[in-house]
Amino acid sequence: MSLEDEIKIILDDFEQAKSESIIHILNQIKPHFKSGLISEYLQGKIQKIQDVDNEQDKKKQCKALLPYFDWYLQGL
């Protein structure tokens, strides 16, 4: 399954997606951003999510990062 397919699955059914899957995809798309600042910012957000113990809180924070999926699908 391609990265684009994985992103579309999560976007289509975010409520069923696990935060680990979302973080995994974010880590895969992070190097594709042209700006190092965006990649660094995203890494900080990913680390913040990983530091949270509660899955519901992780999902809330992951939801705020879904625009990165859209940007990736649109060709950054």
Dihedral angle over CA of 24, 71, 14, 51, nearest 10: 40
The number of residues in the chain equals 76
d(CA 76, CA 69): 9
Q: Per the structure block, which two tokens stand in for 60?
A: 């809330």
Task: Locate the domains of the chain by residue range.
Answer: 3-73
More confident residue, 76 or 53: 53
d(CA 33, CA 15): 26
Inform me whether the pLDDT recorded for 4 exceeds 90.
yes
Q: What is this structure's pTM? A: 0.90
Residues 56, 76: Cα–Cα separation, whole Å: 28
Per residue in 11-67, pLDDT tens? 999 999 999 999 999 999 999 988 899 999 999 999 999 999 999 999 999 999 999
Band the pLDDT of 76: cuts 50, 70, 90. Answer: low
